[in-house]
A and B are shown apart, each in its own frame.
Chain A
């Protein structure tokens, strides 16, 4: 007889620590259909991103080698790294707000683990090995059984092919499609790092989807646990209406029973092996399979559907779900503030980088009868896909300064970086001691302006001028 889930222990881990491998039953219904459509939309988006061209670059191309990050038409450099703060905190507040309101909706609908497992790999299982009865029978056969060898072997090959494909799409996010093509056609020995990365990714995906499966959600995923901690009595979860369902059992004359007929269909379809009727549990990824399974049975019995449904604990206990409560308002407000600041920051992103440091290996300043001179090292980064001429000019200086030989400007190649010495001189007649100044980098079209403050070093103003050499 099938294992009976316990609330106090994990179904997929047997008392001796061994794995209890699940073969969940197939389920159909409105929620599964909607989730499948959504899942395939996400897979299609994931596969399409490197192909979509925006402003001459892929929609998503994280060019680690060149340190350029192309995101939906914008090109970010390493000096824009601080924007990641908004991405991470925004993601955090989104998870908080959404989970506090709707429970683990991310896990059930959008998490790649669920999307690929439920809508791709389980579909392969069903296609090659049959329904859960046939798969369970196959599990029980000895490993050298010809039928098992044939079916499992074929399924293994299909899994390798799918994982290999996903790994290639993943790699395309970092090398782009034009960059991926020579890697596919060339010999692995010509690009060992990329090949090993791709092979390792394939291996990890294969291990995950072939064997590890729900263990990732139960034992490894930090978001799952975080979300469990964020759920309160008003969060909408996948819940069993015990007030309507209990006492469960077949209708027998003379005994009052609830709507649950204890058919255990909800347990058979569960991908993490729990019994939803035992209440909210850590293992539940809110996948809605049990909702569809139960609705199916209820429809056949001509009873109202929704014995297992999206509802808050308050609602299941006969109360009302309060969506807006102090914490959800706070999360949403913080998310809103973060979004506004992030949008403003993104609009302020410059299409160039400009950095001045002191030139290493030379004197801090030279003091000749004519002038005091400081040596800097300038670095200009052009984030645009075309050649740009840049000028370096004085933004502010208390005394007249000369920036040597930069009046013609400097042409920086597309998405290139140039480093060169920059010499700033002050005429001895104007020099009155060290001072602060600001220089500016300006693109020829004037659209990019970057400033940098500098400190001009020199001799004490009271020091005598050096004698003429």
Chain B
């Protein structure tokens, strides 16, 4: 019977010795080496594809493309929004309720539960006097972009993050108590809530 020690592939010692310590001359597993050579090949292909092929799209371009698709969608939605459609929405009970829900969780802080405004903070919204534009689209823009007065940002911060649908719904809610053609423009100092 063969002795267990008679194996033909006993590891060979390397000839060098440091402080009496020697090391075996053993191969790395092939799969391990494959990860090394594989990553070298990958790096070369990556470099060629992303920097020299002209086919690859870099992150900035991809991001810009994604953003422009998003913007196009928003623009398409806004395009259908004009004074007429916003007035129409303001007479739709469902849209107004939706707008009221957004108002109650967001706008109420400064403009109050009855739209009466808060002195020094938020304008009165339940009268026919408007300061920063008296058209539905102007109201929509003021909500979306916020209001800058005298070159300084005011408490009315941009609410663009709400999205087109919700901003339109809030606009419709505000218009629901108004009559077309009866919105007047007054100077900022005349606004009752500013006094």
- The chain A residues found within 8 Å of chain B, CB to CB, are 1, 3-4, 6, 8-9, 13-19, 212, 215, 219, 262, 275, 359-363, 366, 368, 370-371, 373, 375, 404-406, 408, 410-411, 418, 420-423, 425, 469
Nearest-CB residue, chain B, relative to A403: B109
Complex contacts, B183 vs chain A, CB 8 Å: none
* A6 in contact with B10 (CB, 8 Å): yes
With contacts A8-B24, A366-B120 known, is A375 near B155, CB below 8 A? yes
B152 to chain A, nearest CB (A): 7
Query: Cβ of B76 < 8 Å from any Cβ of A?
Result: no
Nearest-CB residue, chain A, relative to B25: A15
Pairs across A and B, CB under 8 Å, 18 listed:
A3-B9, A4-B7, A13-B26, A15-B11, A16-B27, A18-B30, A19-B29, A361-B157, A362-B157, A366-B121, A370-B119, A370-B120, A371-B120, A375-B157, A405-B110, A411-B105, A420-B106, A423-B121
Nearest-CB residue, chain B, relative to A402: B118
* B157 in contact with A421 (CB, 8 Å): yes
Complex contacts, A17 vs chain B, CB 8 Å: 27-30, 33
Which 9 A-B pairs rank lowest in CB-CB distance, beginning with the nearest?
A: A17-B27, A368-B120, A17-B30, A361-B157, A4-B7, A9-B11, A15-B9, A13-B29, A421-B109
Nearest-CB residue, chain A, relative to B5: A4
* B157 in contact with A363 (CB, 8 Å): no
Interface residues of B in 12-68 (CB under 8 A from A): 24, 26-33
* B109 in contact with A420 (CB, 8 Å): yes
Main secondary structure of the interface of B (DSSP, over half): loop
CA–CA, A6 and B6, complex, Å = 10
Which of B5, B6, B10, B118 lies in contact with A404, CB distance below 8 A? B118
A454 to chain B, nearest CB (A): 16
Complex contacts, A219 vs chain B, CB 8 Å: 29, 32
Complex contacts, A363 vs chain B, CB 8 Å: 152-155
With contacts A1-B2, A3-B7, A363-B155 known, is A423 near B29, CB below 8 A? no
CA–CA, A416 and B118, complex, Å = 29
Proximity bits, B154-165, A CB within 8 Å = 1, else 0: 111110000000
Query: Cβ of B133 < 8 Å from any Cβ of A?
Result: no
Nearest-CB residue, chain A, relative to B108: A405
Which of A361, A418, A421 lies in contact with B110, CB distance below 8 A? A421
Proximity bits, B78-96, A CB within 8 Å = 1, else 0: 0000000000000000000
Complex contacts, B110 vs chain A, CB 8 Å: 404-405, 421, 423
* A410 in contact with B28 (CB, 8 Å): no
* A359 in contact with B29 (CB, 8 Å): no
A3 to chain B, nearest CB (A): 7
Interface centre among A215, A362, A418, by most B CB within 10 Å?
Answer: A362
Proximity bits, B135-158, A CB within 8 Å = 1, else 0: 000000000001000001111111
A332 to chain B, nearest CB (A): 37
Complex contacts, A421 vs chain B, CB 8 Å: 106, 109-110, 157
* B27 in contact with A366 (CB, 8 Å): no
Nearest-CB residue, chain B, relative to A370: B120
Query: Cβ of B181 < 8 Å from any Cβ of A?
Result: no
With contacts A359-B157, A410-B105 known, is A373 near B27, CB below 8 A? no
Complex contacts, B146 vs chain A, CB 8 Å: 361
Complex contacts, B10 vs chain A, CB 8 Å: 6, 8-9
A330 to chain B, nearest CB (A): 33
